[in-house]
Structure 1
Amino acid sequence: MKVKICGITDLKTAQLAVEAGADAVGFVFAESKRQIDILEAKKIIKSLPESILKIGVFVNETKERLESIFEEVGLTHLQLHGDETPEFCRSLRYPVIKAIRVKSELDIAQITQYDCDYILVDSPSGKYRGGNGTTFDWELLSTQKIDNLILAGGLTLDNVLLASDIVKPLMVDVSSGVETNGIKDEKKIKAFIKKVKLGGI
């Protein structure tokens, strides 16, 4: 199973995540306590291996701004956490990850409307549209077979294997679950990735 470390704000943490075995790193351009500016993200991405997915997180941005930042920063995917329609996602020239906030089965039903590169399922909105450290009812996805699924929302070292066993995602996405006092924690990042990759061994 693949791992994405989201909410990267500095070069040291990005490199640590990659060295620890992360398959993807996420940069939040939307309003967030982990928001990063374009120049800093560009500088970090230049130092990362080509094989790593570099994902930009946005909320209700214009098509022009999304594509402009994608090109300038060197992203590989646009992760959309707002009210973007299936038509809007299809209109973009670059790979899209559409985030669906899950409260009920009605939210799960939305997934089939989107033919994006990946679908990311996350907890309902808190203060921000993601990265709030809360889980949702994973059982809502237990009967679904979605090949390109990314699981996010309150994942930690303690619950990631249980969540993955129920949802069976292609990738898990963690941000606050590898932080201490709001700062990315080297030991937690390494332990989280190791647990996912080795299945708790």
Structure 2
Amino acid sequence: MVKVKICGLTDLETALFAAAAGAAALGFVFAPGRRRAGPEQARLICRALPPFVSRVGVFVDAPLPEVAQMVDYCGLDAVQLHGSEPPDYCRALGERVRVIKAFRVGGAGLPADMGDYPVAAVLLDTLVPGRAGGSGRAFDWRLAQNTGLKTPLILAGGLTPENVARAAALVKPYAVDVSSGVETDGRKDRKKIARLIRAAGEAGSAPLQM
């Protein structure tokens, strides 16, 4: 079954709801933006989550010591990198925590070097100039078929309760990552979270382990 990560969480009640609804991972954004979770709030939520729910910190070109500090302070299980972090950065960080590297996909297709990164998983998001992620726009999912990657693939970008099952059936990712697709008026919508997790659960996925 395809796993679901709900990203951009900023309050404990919604995070606990998403975990109870079946989310396998929850994401906390440490980069500037409206979905940013402060270190204290992220730590509070991470400590309150039940076991077997992965806590993922999202960073964009942050200094390595800063990321390492947040990993320890909040008790993060993984970090998700949405900037221009090179393979050596990922390798160094991977010595202490699982690393997910995000790549943006546009009309030119998949980045040629994404298989060169020593990471636990690769995430594909939509290329939108000036945005590191969370745009709510989908790319051509056919580009993500048969990537040949040896690491698990996470699909993101424009996923909603209405289209996530179709996207998962087409790409067969290890997991899907959703933020704006489960929001109403810029805030997380619990009904949409529940509907998306339920819809994703109806789609098959390759039995990869992360």
- The SS at the match of 1:107 is coil
Of stretches 21-30 and 117-126 in structure 1, the one that deviates more from structure 2 is 117-126
Residue number in structure 2 paired with 1:124 = 127
Residue number in structure 1 paired with 2:208 = none
Q: Could you tell me whether the CA contact under 8 Å between 1:108 and 1:140 is conserved in 2?
A: no
Aligned length: 200
Q: How does 1:35-184 map to 2 (within 5 A)?
A: 35-92=36-93, 93-105=96-108, 107-146=110-149, 147-184=151-188
- Aligned: 1:197 with 2:201: yes
The one-letter code sitting in structure 2 at the alignment partner of 1:13 is T
The one-letter code sitting in structure 1 at the alignment partner of 2:116 is Q
Structure 1 residue 128 displacement after superposition? 3.2
Whole-angstrom distance in 2 between the partners of 1:109 and 1:168? 20
* Alignment root-mean-square deviation, CA: 1.5
The one-letter code sitting in structure 1 at the alignment partner of 2:187 is I
Whole-angstrom distance in 2 between the partners of 1:170 and 1:107? 17
Whole-angstrom distance in 2 between the partners of 1:91 and 1:104? 31
Runs of 4+ that moved beyond 2 A: 104-108, 125-128
Q: Could you tell me whether the CA contact under 8 Å between 1:100 and 1:122 is conserved in 2?
A: yes
Say if 1:34 and 1:99 are closer, same or farther in 2 by CA, change over 3 A. Answer: same
Whole-angstrom distance in 2 between the partners of 1:151 and 1:164? 8
Whole-angstrom distance in 2 between the partners of 1:126 and 1:31? 16
Residue number in structure 1 paired with 2:23 = 22
The one-letter code sitting in structure 2 at the alignment partner of 1:39 is E
- The SS at the match of 1:100 is strand
Q: Could you tell me whether the CA contact under 8 Å between 2:110 and 2:144 is conserved in 1?
A: no
Of stretches 103-112 and 6-15 in structure 1, the one that deviates more from structure 2 is 103-112
- The SS at the match of 2:111 is helix
**Structure 1 residues not aligned, in runs of 5+:** none
Whole-angstrom distance in 1 between the partners of 2:108 and 2:131? 22
The alignment's TM-score, normalised by the length of structure 2, stands at 0.91
Whole-angstrom distance in 1 between the partners of 2:174 and 2:89? 24
